[in-house]
Amino acid sequence: MLRSVLPRCRRAVGVLVAAVGMAAFTGPAAGADAPAIPDFADGFGLTQVADATEVYSSTDFTITVTTPQVSGPHKIRVFLPRDYAAAPDKRWPVTYFLHGGGGSVDDAAAAPALRSDNMITVVPDGGLKGWYTNWLMQNTTLGKANWETFHLDQIIPFIDANLRTLDDRAHRAVVGLSMGGSGALHYAQLRPDLFAHTASLSGGTDFAMAEVRGAVLATELNLTGAWCAASSSPGPGTCADYGPYVDSDAVFGSPYPVLGADRIWNAYDPAAPANLSRLDGTLVTLYTGDQGVVDANTAKAAATVKARLDRLGIPGRLVNYANGASLAPTCDGGHHYGCWAPALADYVPRLEAAFAAAASN
């Protein structure tokens, strides 16, 4: 079945990519001209790279760290509430935003809603094709690739130690889109002790679908034509670059359901009933369009997840905005920030209200 998918993955996907609400980017301030930001201390396996911090404002900055868990330096972008410095005794909820394949931490700037005055938003590097998991193969051209450990066991305690967070699960969310949409559900399922809220936007959430497995293979093999202009990158007219070629079994092992060869895919699968059952007590939200090659399949995946949540008796909210007409003028129902930015504008106030309700209890 996968063999019939891969040729389609090589065809370019034509979609409108809109950088909604992005302010003019003039680059980070440097040296004495840089606004003051919180000091960060190394720890939890993370070491900051000297002189690599990018400061856009006192509430928008990126630090760069190294870790033995993932080869190379990696960025962490942070959006603070405007009152963070002025309210030194106040602690804040935290949302972790997971970018999509071919994307970076800077893609989050295309979604103004993530710059909330009611929560801290943290955007960790997820790699061009990290898939928010610890890879099966650790000896590819990319080296160590324990993304799951990096995010859950290192970045979260690092952020809690260095920023004034509310560090209980009721005040922590994980949200992602595309590749990050599957990652968000996976992380919420793997660590229900950490997250009380999760949202997936156009996520490849059903790993039993041949189309989703084909998309993962396309990123491993860097088939840039597969999702041309359909990565999380908000730049119009660009094609995703998924980085150096790695073995097609590098991330999850063999994708073929023969004699249990695809057991890692099945264990990770965010749509598997056993994994969905771990979301009992977690607020789950799904957004998707249904237009184009990519979101036509994410719509099927989201419908499967919602139906299985219903059967498990776990509340979940599914917003299928179809061709986008009901969502925003910038949305055509495709796989891009013209839809994701207004979807996040709908979701974030709901999340803020849930955080506020938890604080009052």
pLDDT digits (tens, 9 = 90+) for 97-128: 999 999 999 999 999 999 999 999 999 999 99
Which range has the top average pLDDT, 10-24, 207-221, 312-326? 312-326
Place 15 in a pLDDT band, splitting at 50, 70 and 90: very low
What pLDDT score was predicted for residue 341?
Answer: 97
The CATH number covering residue 67 comes to 3.40.50.1820
What pLDDT score was predicted for residue 27?
Answer: 66
Flag whether pLDDT at 268 surpasses 80: yes
Number of domains forming the structure of the chain:
1
What pLDDT score was predicted for residue 37?
Answer: 96
Flag whether pLDDT at 283 surpasses 80: yes
Measured CA to CA, the distance from residue 352 to residue 101 in angstroms comes to 27
Average pLDDT over residues 19-42: 65
Flag whether pLDDT at 219 surpasses 50: yes
pLDDT digits (tens, 9 = 90+) for 167-208: 999 999 999 999 999 999 999 999 999 999 999 999 999 999
Q: Which residues contact 137 (CB under 8 A, 6 or more apart)?
A: 145, 246, 247, 249, 250, 251
Flag whether pLDDT at 345 surpasses 70: yes
Give yes or no for a contact between 205 and 92, defined as CB atoms under 8 angstroms apart: no
Which residue range forms the structural domain that includes residue 326? 2-360
CB atoms within 10 A of CB 311: 10
Flag whether pLDDT at 156 surpasses 90: yes
What pLDDT score was predicted for residue 21?
Answer: 35
What pLDDT score was predicted for residue 18?
Answer: 33
Please compute Rg for the chain using Cα positions: 19
Place 35 in a pLDDT band, splitting at 50, 70 and 90: confident
Flag whether pLDDT at 67 surpasses 60: yes
The C-alpha torsion from 119 through 121 and 122 to 127, rounded to 10°, is 150
Bigger pLDDT: 1 vs 190: 190
Bridge partners of residue 319, in order along the sequence: 287
Place 224 in a pLDDT band, splitting at 50, 70 and 90: low
What pLDDT score was predicted for residue 249?
Answer: 97
